Amino acid sequence: MSVLQVGGYSQDRESAERNVGRTRSAAFVLSKARYYVPLMMLPILWEFAVRSGLVNGNLFPPPSTIAAAIMDLARAGTLWRDVSASILRVVVGFSVATIAGVGFGLLLGRLPVLSRYVIPLIEVVRPISVIAWIPIAILWFGLGDRPAWFLISLGAFFPIFTSTYDGARSLADVYVRVARCFGAPRSLFIRQVLLPATLPHILTGMRIGLGTGWTCVIAAELVSATSGLGYMIQLARTTIETEKVLAGMMVIGLIGFVMNSLMLLVERKLSVRPAAD
């Protein structure tokens, strides 16, 4: 092969690689555009509908009014106080749910004899809405943080438990037999085999449980708290400040989105391939 042929081949290869790179970049931009363009168009159309009189601005304030309400709440300091109160309650309740959900999930997932009796009870309680537990929580714990902690823990427990239980139950028997053949103590088996195998399931359950816990704290604050985003929305409702109600809803949605994104990042960083059949 001559030098000219080699040079021509190299140029063709570089040109093809550049074309592939451009195609991938264009596909990436288009995929993101399909996701973000509707999100950007929605507030524009919403604003136009209110300004043109198609929608009652008193009942459905435009995005500009909602953004101004968020800024006013932030400058007054009430937004940060309520956000921090809600997040702190979620941290406490979610921590309890994680410890209980992972612990019971691993235990029942590896003990079929015990799970045969406990799982039916859990399946009876699981479908009961957290909202139905609010009166009981207030009767048991009164007002304040404790009923919110209970409701968050209850709501977040079931996704974490279910995912962990499924992961522990799906652990391939060959790994258990190998660990027994080598005489691995139970603590080593849990650290080196069970936890790595069920970690992806645990993280998925935690992500879903965190989202559930976040919705539970708002529901609890609507009726049993004197601070938090749910309380802020309830207070704005009583004073007929619709823009503050929607501002609180926007902040709730944004924080929930950030929480889910962070948990997805943790999943990608920590997940390993499960040892399943």
Domain co-membership, 176 together with 225:
yes
Domain that holds residue 15: 1-55
Domain co-membership, 25 together with 150:
no
Q: Are 163 and 207 in contact (CB under 8 A)?
A: no
Instruction: Answer with the one of 37, 55, 73 that is the final residue of a domain.
Output: 55
Q: Which of 47-56, 156-165, 223-232, 251-260 has the lowest mean pLDDT?
A: 47-56
7 lies in some domain: yes
Domain co-membership, 172 together with 213:
yes
Q: What is the DSSP string of the chain?
A: --HHHHHHHHHHHHHHHHHHHHHHHHHHHHHHHHHHHHHHHHHHHHHHHHHTTSS-TTTS--HHHHHHHHHHHHHHTHHHHHHHHHHHHHHHHHHHHHHHHHHHHHHHHH-HHHHHHHHHHHHHHTTS-HHHHHHHHHHHH-SSHHHHHHHHHHHHHHHHHHHHHHHHHTB-HHHHHHHHHTT--HHHHIIIIIHHHHHHHHHHHHHHHHHHHHHHHHHHHHHH-SSSHHHHHHHHHHTT-HHHHHHHHHHHHHHHHHHHHHHHHHHHHH-----B-
Domain co-membership, 86 together with 189:
yes
Q: In the structure encoding, which two tokens stand for residue 213, read together?
A: 């816990």
pLDDT at 18 over 60: no
81 lies in some domain: yes
For the chain, give the percent of residues with pLDDT over 70.
77
pLDDT at 191 over 80: no
Domain co-membership, 67 together with 36:
no
222 lies in some domain: yes
Mean pLDDT of 17-30: 54
Tell me the pLDDT band of 10, cut-offs 50, 70 and 90: low
Mean pLDDT of 222-250: 88
196 lies in some domain: yes
* Strand ranges (E), the chain: none
Total structural domains in the chain? 2
Task: Assign residue 172 the CATH number of its domain.
Answer: 1.10.3720.10
Domain co-membership, 12 together with 89:
no
Instruction: Answer with the one of 55, 72, 95 that is the final residue of a domain.
Output: 55
Domain co-membership, 140 together with 111:
yes
Q: Tell me which of 41 and 36 has the higher pLDDT.
A: 41
Instruction: Answer with the one of 55, 77, 92 that is the final residue of a domain.
Output: 55
The single residue listed with the structure tokens 């879903």 is 208
For the stretch 95-121, pLDDT in tens is 999 999 999 998 888 888 888 888 999
Tell me the pLDDT band of 275, cut-offs 50, 70 and 90: very low
Report the pLDDT value the prediction gives residue 29, as an integer from 0 to 100: 56
275 lies in some domain: no
CA distance 234 to 218: 10
Out of 28-32, 114-118, 268-272, give the one with best mean pLDDT.
114-118
Tell me the pLDDT band of 3, cut-offs 50, 70 and 90: very low
Domain co-membership, 73 together with 188:
yes
Buried b (16+ CB within 10 A) or exposed e, 131-154: eebbeebbeebeeebbbbbbbbbb
Domain co-membership, 106 together with 173:
yes
277 lies in some domain: no
Report the pLDDT value the prediction gives residue 241, as an integer from 0 to 100: 87
Domain co-membership, 17 together with 67:
no
pLDDT at 247 over 80: yes
233 lies in some domain: yes
Mean pLDDT of 11-32: 55
For the stretch 64-101, pLDDT in tens is 888 999 999 999 988 999 999 999 999 999 999 999 99
For the chain, give the percent of residues with pLDDT over 90.
33
pLDDT at 194 over 90: no
Q: Tell me which of 56 and 119 has the higher pLDDT.
A: 119
Q: In the structure encoding, which two tokens stand for residue 73, read together?
A: 């709440």
Tell me the pLDDT band of 145, cut-offs 50, 70 and 90: confident
Domain co-membership, 199 together with 263:
yes
137 lies in some domain: yes
Report the pLDDT value the prediction gives residue 100, as an integer from 0 to 100: 95
Q: What is the mean pLDDT of the chain?
A: 81
pLDDT at 270 over 90: no
CA distance 215 to 213: 5
Least Cα distance to 42 among 58, 59, 62 occurs for 62
Report the pLDDT value the prediction gives residue 58, as an integer from 0 to 100: 79
Domain co-membership, 138 together with 266:
yes
